[in-house]
Structure 1
Amino acid sequence: FLDLSDLVKNKGWKKERPTGGKDPIAYNGNVWLGYDDPYQAYDKSKWVKDNGFGGIIVWEVGQDDTQGSCCAVKFPMLRAINNGLFGTGKGPETYGCEHK
């Protein structure tokens, strides 16, 4: 999330959500990357809770926004997962992340 947010914010990449999809993509020319953002992390973690699964694994916690450089809060991905699983805190729409 952190590296892709930097590409969109500072390197001229575009971000969109393809028609009918929730998963964001970032692209520049003919190169594109699919990824999760706080909105997707929230939706997935809420789905896990609603369907009775035991939890979620985070592959690379260091790719969360640890300094608040992409969003107005630190750790927006972990916040979104926590909120989706436990209903605590505020949702990703309050994190100050760009959402399209």
Structure 2
Amino acid sequence: MIRESQIDSLASFLVHSLAARQIIKPKAEEQDLIACVVELMSANFETEAEIDAEADRMTEELARKDPRADPARLRSMIRQRLAEKKGFTL
């Protein structure tokens, strides 16, 4: 899992870079934009972690039922389906 300090650094870099290149024209203070990006990224990583945990649980359950199944492939497929259901892009 990515640390909060890494998310802060990434969000700060993103906002400053976009503003410096005039790709965005901030209507709010940059610190407010950075805080917003941090919130969005944190929520995104949390959702991905939830999907991963659910996929791990389901993979384990299904692998017990059918030992012939390839757990890595099964997990990948379950993960994709869960993400689709939540409208989440992996």
TM-score norm. by structure 1 comes to 0.24
Q: State which structure, 1 or 2, has the greater radius of gyration over its C-alpha atoms.
A: 2
TM-score norm. by structure 2 comes to 0.26
